[in-house]
Each structure stands twice: as structure tokens, then as C-alpha cells.
Amino acid sequence: MTNRRDFLQTASALAAAGFLPRALPAMPTQLGSIGAEPFRARPCVVASANGLRGVQVAYDQIVAGTDPLDAAIAGVNIQELDPDDQSVGLGGLPNAEGVVQLDASCMHGPTRRAGSVSCIEDIATPSLVAKAVMDYTDHVMLVGPHARRFAIEMGFTPQNLLTDKSRQDWLRWRARLNPNDAWLDYDGNVNIRFHTGTINMNAVTAGGDMASVTTTSGMSWKVPGRVGDSPIIGAGQYCDNTVGAAGSTGRGEANIKACGAFLAVEFMRQGLGPEEALLRVMQRVIAMTEDRLLGPNGRPRFDLQFYALAKDGTFAGATAYEGASFAVCDERGARLEKCAFLFKASERPR
């Protein structure tokens, strides 16, 4: 049995290490206390760099009075419906069998609700399907053929998401799998792309209401059925209306094990600013990474980008290696800003 003194000593040690919340002043809410002024934030939208067009759309809707989740989803819809963007939605790069499988999740701060879909096919806007799961069911996540059936029942129109551009990239990749197979090799100068394209977007209104959404076609040429962090609440995105919101893009397998978006919000709850919170999350990700994915110097062979937005409108982006950017829109307009980082690009293992 643990006595009271041992318990207090253990709790103090855990708190010092960042595992327990420290005592903090009460977080402001939109309503505030009786007789107090309503909480006011700086309206702001933060996203991955491919959301530069979307943050402007979302910001304009927020200042016009649109719900923050509706605004953020309108922002990511731009990429989902763009056939030239091969990271999400229509035109996304397919799995190993040439099938485009999409994932998305969203959270609505004011109602504390969430929705998610994974491995959904033939529906270009999985972010909207995730919101429909949130709005119209008692569930949080639907997957595979059942998610597709639900979307169609909700009025979404199925379509072929594999554009000719993405199909040609998939054919080039497949032709090089085995030199002894029946597929003719393409010219050796053709660059076969491997990426983990995703868009995350987080928004806050002037009243401090928040929302987050992440949508993706996942890792290119993935094993069919693979699920990354994007549809996982607390990994690909997370939102707490009393604290802030966060999300990520990059290697989802690494982020899932650290529950990165949730952890970032929890660090902010403990009083850290968005940038420091994200850098600590990146450190936790690396600490949870298996040796095969680390170089001799202990640096990861992959990268992740994290994005965070606090309830008061302060924001940050962070990554393992220098050079990444993220999109933001506030009263200064839409722009790209540099991510904070842990290591110089030269320290990345080859």
C-alpha cells in the first residue's frame, strides 16, 4: 500500500516531468463568469502549407459569423476537390492496388463532438462525411464499405477518384516493383513519388469557439486498408474548446503512438505556448520511435509537421527538421510562416 507521503512525492515527480497537469488558473470560456466581460480571441485559422488557399476561405467565413467547423471544412474542401492535388480527395495517390482510399476526422469545440471516416472510397470530400457521422449518428468513426454506404445514404455522390495523372504515377511505381515481372519499366529518369499528403486545419472565432479537421488520401502505394493518424481522434487532430486545437501531417504511424494532437493540447493546458508544446510533442514522437527508423545520430529518418492554435488566437507550426512552412490567416491576411524545428536539415540521416 502506498502511504500519503509516497503518493505526493510520486505525483510531484510526474508533474515535473510533464505527465500530470500542474495547477493552473481557470481557463476562460466564451460565456465567462457572471458580470464579467465575454472572452475575446483573435479570429485565426492555421493549416498545413497546402491549405494556403483554404485558410483565407475559412477566415472570411469565420469573421462573417460561420461556425468554426463549417468554415474549416470549407477550407479543406478546396484541396479535396482539386484534381491536381494528389494528397487528398479527388486525384489522391492510390494504394498498392490502384484504389484511392481516404481518411478524415473533425472535432467541434462548442459541442465537444467528433466524427471520423477511414478507408472510404469514391467520395471526394471525406471531411464532410466525417461531419455527417458527428451530426447524424451516435458514433464517432465509420470505416470502409460501410462508411461509403453511409455517405451515399446521406446524399453524397460517388465518383471515380483516380485521375489519369495519379493512375500514371501508380503504373510507374508498380512497373518497378520487380524487374522480373510482366510490367514494362518506364524511363529511368521518371521520379516515382512517395509521400504522405494530408491537410490539417484549425480555427478559432472571436468568441473563442474552436474546431479542427484533418483529411488525407494517406501514404502513397500503402497496403490496402492502411489507416494513418488523420482519422484518429487525438492523433491526426484534436480540439478542446477551453484550451486550443492541434493537428499534424507526415508519417502517421509515428504520430499515432504519441497521440500527438491530444498531447499538444494537453501541454497547452499545462500553460505552454503553442510552439513549445509542439516541440515537446516532436521530442516525444522521437522517443517513441523504433531503432530502424532512426539514424546513427538518433535523429529520425522521417519527418512530421505539427500545427497548434490556442484559444486566444496564438499559433505555431513545428517539425523535426528546418525548412517546413505552415499556412495561417488572421487580421494580417493569408500567408506562409516558418515552422519551429528541433534539428538542422544537415542532421537528417540519409
Residues labelled as active-site residues: 198
Residue 258: closest CA among 233, 285, 238: 285
Residues β-bridged to residue 335: 328
- The CA distance from 252 to 200, in Å, is 13
- The CA distance from 44 to 68, in Å, is 10
- The CA distance from 151 to 169, in Å, is 28
CA of residue 12 relative to chain centroid, distance? 32
Residues β-bridged to residue 245: 239, 309
How many CA atoms are closer than 13 Å to the CA of 204, on its beta-carbon side? Answer: 31
Q: Phi and psi dihedrals of 255, rounded to 5?
A: -75, -35
Task: Using alpha carbons, list the distances in angstroms from residue 71 to 9, 167, 213, 225, 235.
Answer: 46, 32, 10, 30, 21
CA angle 301, 304, 306 (to 5 degrees): 160
- In this structure, the number of other CB atoms found within 10 A of the CB of residue 20 comes to 13
Query: What SS3 state is found at 212?
Result: strand
Residue 238: closest CA among 137, 117, 59, 112: 112
